[in-house]
Amino acid sequence: MVQLKKDDKVMVIGGKDKGKSGKIKKIIHAKNRVVVEKLNLVKRHTKPGVDQTQGGIIEKEASLHRSNVMLYCEKCEKAVRSGVRKMSDNSNARYCKKCEELFDK
């Protein structure tokens, strides 16, 4: 499976936000989960505390399993499968298997 990285644009392919896209905000490697900006929003009821002056209902992003997101290709304008290609300077680069566009520039 091709590695996902922070700030990659991804599209959700399963769950309540299916079809929506956003940027990866955080990756939790130990649990194979990712947090995507403004997607999978949940409401948390919090008490007022020392660090938070006000309590109430706070909306925040919950994590998604990495199998429910795919890299989003700007050129194809959809979620695509991706592969890894060896470049001339012996570095690896991810690319779209549909249009051959590089994700890592």
| CATH architecture, domain 9-96 | Roll (2.30)
Sequence ranges of the domains in the chain: 9-96
CA–CA separation, 96 vs 36, rounded Å? 20
Residue type, 20: K
Residues 6+ apart with CB under 8 A from 83: 2, 94, 95, 97
Q: How many CA atoms lie within 13 A of 50 on its CB side?
A: 0
Q: Running DSSP on this structure, what letter comes out for residue 55? A: -
Q: Which two tokens stand for residue 86?
A: 């060896």
Q: What is the pTM of this model?
A: 0.85
Tens digit of pLDDT for each residue in 65-84?
999 999 999 999 999 999 99
Tens digit of pLDDT for each residue in 31-64?
999 999 999 999 999 888 887 678 899 999 999 9
